Chains A and B, each alone.
Chain A
Amino acid sequence: MQDSLKSSSYQQLEQKSKYTNMFLRWFLYFILILFASYFIFPLYVMVVTSLKTMEEIRQGTLLSWPSGLNLDSWAIAWGGRGYGAGDTFLRPYFWNSIKMVVPAVFFSTFIGAMTGYVLTKWRFKGDQWVFLFLLFGCFIPFQAILLPMARTLGVLGISNSVVGLVLVHTVYGIPFTTLFFRNYYVSVPTELVKAARIDGAGFFKIFFKILLPISAPIIVVTVIWQFTQIWNDFLFGSTFSFGEAAPIQVALNNMVLSSTSVKEYNVDMASAIIAGIPTLIVYVLAGKYFIRGLTSGAVKG
C-alpha cells in the first residue's frame, strides 16, 4: 500500500522534472539562436550587399536577396577599374600587409618564446622586474607610443616603409607574446632543462630541441593573436605609412571614405570582406588549437 503510493508520487515527480527539462532546453536553444543571428546578421548584410548591383541596392531593402551572383564589385575592390589616377584598389596594399604581417608575427613570436624561456628556465637576479616591465607593455595604449616611435623610425631612416611597420609591430607585440610563452613554460617541469644540461645540451639546444617541439599549442595561440592584431591594425599603419607603403586597413579606409562620386556600397562591402578574410582563414585553420592552447597553461599536461 505504502509502496505503491510512494512509487506513484515518484512518477509524478519524474513527469514534472521531464517537462521542466524540456522547457529549459527549448529556452536555451531559443536564446542561442537569438544571439547567433545577432552576430551573423552584419556578415549576412555585407555578403549580400557585395553581390548586388548599385541599382538593386537603391531599390531593394538591406535584407533582400541579390538577383544573381554578381562579382563585379569584388573585382573592382581587388583590381580597380583600370583607369589611371585616383583609382584605389586593394591588391597592392594586400601584399603590403602580407609583407608586414608575416615577418612581424614571426619575429615577435620567436622573441617572445625566447624571453619566456629565459624568464622561466634561466632565472636571474631581478627577472621578476623584467617580467613586470614587460607586463606594463601590455597596458600601454597604442596612442602613447606614437610620437616616440615616429622619432625612432625617423632616426633609423625607416619611416613610411613596410620594414618600419614590421619593427613597430614586433616591438609592440613582445610583451604579449612573452606573457603567453612565459605562462606556458612555467608549467613545463624545470627538471627537463636540468636533465638536458647534464646531458650536455646548451642554452640554444635546450630551447630548440626540448622546449620548442612541445610548444605547438602556445605557438598557435600567439600566431593567431599577433596575426589578428597586426593585420587589423589601423592606427600604426595610418600614422607611420602613407601612399604606396600603406597596409590594407589604411587602403580600405581611403577607398571607403575618399570616394568622390557616389558611394558604392557593394564595392565597399567587398573590400571590407577581402580585408577580413585572412584573419578568418587563420581562425578556421587553427581555431581548435587556439582554445586548447589558451587552456593548456592552466592544467599541467
Chain B
Amino acid sequence: MKTLKIEELSKNFGSTEVLRKINLEIDEGNFLVLLGPSGCGKSTLLNIIAGLETINEGNVFIDDYNVSKVEPKDRNIAMVFQSYALYPSMNVRENMIFGLKQAKTSKEKIEEQLEKVSKFLQVDQLLERKPSQLSGGQRQRVAIGRALVREPRIFLFDEPLSNLDAKLRVEMRREIKKLHQQLKTTVVYVTHDQTEAMSLGTRIAIMNHGVIQQNDTPENIYNKPSNTFVADFIGSPSMNLIKGTLKETSGELSFTASGSNVEIPIKDYEFKDKSNLNNKEVYFGIRPEHIYFKKSNESDFEINLRADLSEYIGHEQIMTFDYANQEILAKFPSTIKIELAKETKLFFDLTQTSLFDAQTEERI
C-alpha cells in the first residue's frame, strides 16, 4: 500500500499547461521534497494533493483510495503554508483546535490533543496570544501545531521557511527534520531551496515546466543527475558541463573537449547503454568540489588550466579556469594560493563525473 500515489496527472489553467502526466508514489513515513524553480508547478501539485485545486486528468490516491473528487477536509491531510495562514482574529488555542471543532471532535479529545501538541512544540505558554503577538518562529510552530493536532496521514508543507530570516530558517529546518524523525509521518514538502531539499528529504522530486525531471534519493540526485537540468539546478556553484566528443581508440573510451586536444580517459564510467558511443557529442559534467588541487585518488586526471578569476567567500574560494574557451569553476579551501592568469596543475576526480547526451541532454 502506498500512502500517496499520483497517476498520470495533468493540469492546465486555460491554455497554459502547468502539470504534464505526473506519476509519483510515496511510501509510509517518507519525506518527499518537490523541488524546482518558481513556476515549475510544484505548488500546484501540492494544492492538488490537498484538494484545493481541481484535476484535469489523472487521479490521486491516498492509502489506495481514490480521493480525486474528495473535499480537502475529508482527505486526512494537513497543510502548513508559507504565510502561516493563522486566523488573525483567533488566539493560538482557537487556531489550533479550529479544525477539530469543525470535525465535531469531543471536548475531552480536543483538550487532550491540544495539550499534547502544544507541549511537544513548546507553544503551551502562548495559547492565549493572538498571531500578531507572536514572532516568526512561534507562528511557524503554531502553524505546524495546527496541522499536528489533526493527526493526518500526510503533511503538506508549502515553502514553510521562506518567510523566515536566514538564521531562523536553519533552526526551523532542523526542527522539522527532528519532528519527522520523531513522528515518522509522511510528508510532502515544496521548496525552491536546494539546501532545504537535500537536508530534509528522504526523496526529492525535481520539477521543471510541469514535468518531474528526476525522483530519487538526495545522494543520487547529487551524484547521478539524470539530465543537464538537474545537474545544473543542484549544487552551488552548479556542475561544470564541458562540451565535447567521445572517442574510442582501440577499445578505450576518452573525452575531448571541443577546441582542445587533451583526452580524458573514462574507462570506469557506468554507461546506461554502451552502444554507439564513438564520436558522440556529449557534455562532460564535473562538480566544482570534485576538482582538486592535490592528487587524492590514483585515478585522478591531471590537467593544466589557466586561472582567470578568484572569488573569496571565507571558508572557501571559487576559482574560474579557462578550459579551451569554456569556463570551469572549482572550489578550494581558501588557504590555497593560486596565481591568476597562470597555468595551474589541477586534478579531475574521474569517479565523480557525469556524461550527458548533447542532443537530448539526458544522462548516458
Contacts and interface: CB of A to CB of B under 8 A. Distances in A.
For the residues of A in contact with B, the DSSP-based class is helix
Given A194-B52, A210-B87, A213-B89, A199 B73 contact: yes
Contacts of B47: 194
Contacts of A214: 88-89
Given A194-B52, A194-B79, A195-B79, A200 B73 contact: yes
A192 interface: yes
B98 A201 contact: yes
Interface string B69-89: 001110001110111010111
Contact of A200 (B81, B88, B99, B146): B99
Contacts of A198: 50-52, 72-73, 77-79, 99
B179 interface: no
Interface residues of A, number: 16
B103 interface: yes
B87 A197 contact: no
B85 A195 contact: yes
Contacts of B146: 195, 199
Contacts of A68: none
Interface string B89-108: 10000000011001100000
A146 interface: no
A192 B90 CA distance: 12
Most buried by B among A195, A201, A205, A210: A195
Nearest to A190: B85
Contact of B98 (A189, A191, A194, A199): A199
A200 B103 CA distance: 7
B50 A191 contact: no
A200 B78 CA distance: 11
Contacts of B85: 189, 191-192, 194-195
A195 B50 CA distance: 10
B81 A199 contact: no
Given A199-B99, A200-B102, A201-B102, A194 B81 contact: yes
Nearest to B150: A199
A192 B102 contact: no
A114 interface: no
B87 A192 contact: yes
Contacts of B71: 197
A192 B88 CA distance: 9
Contacts of A199: 73, 98-99, 102, 146, 150
Nearest to A215: B89
A196 B87 contact: yes
Contacts of B87: 192, 195-196, 209-210
Interface string B167-197: 0000000000000000000000000000000
B110 to A, nearest CB: 13
Nearest to B156: A198
Contacts of B73: 197-200
Contacts of A201: 98, 102
Most buried by B among A189, A198, A214: A198
Nearest to B89: A213
A205 B78 CA distance: 19
Interface string A18-52: 00000000000000000000000000000000000
Contacts of A205: 102
Contacts of A189: 83, 85
Contacts of A191: 81-83, 85, 158
A209 B89 CA distance: 8
Contacts of B102: 199-201, 205
Interface string A195-226: 11111110001000110011000000000000
A151 B78 CA distance: 54
B52 A197 contact: yes
Interface of B: 47, 50-52, 71-73, 77-79, 81-83, 85, 87-89, 98-99, 102-103, 146, 150, 158
8 contacts: A189-B85, A195-B79, A198-B51, A198-B72, A198-B78, A205-B102, A209-B89, A210-B89
Given A192-B88, A194-B47, A209-B87, 4 more contacts: A191-B81, A194-B52, A195-B146, A198-B52
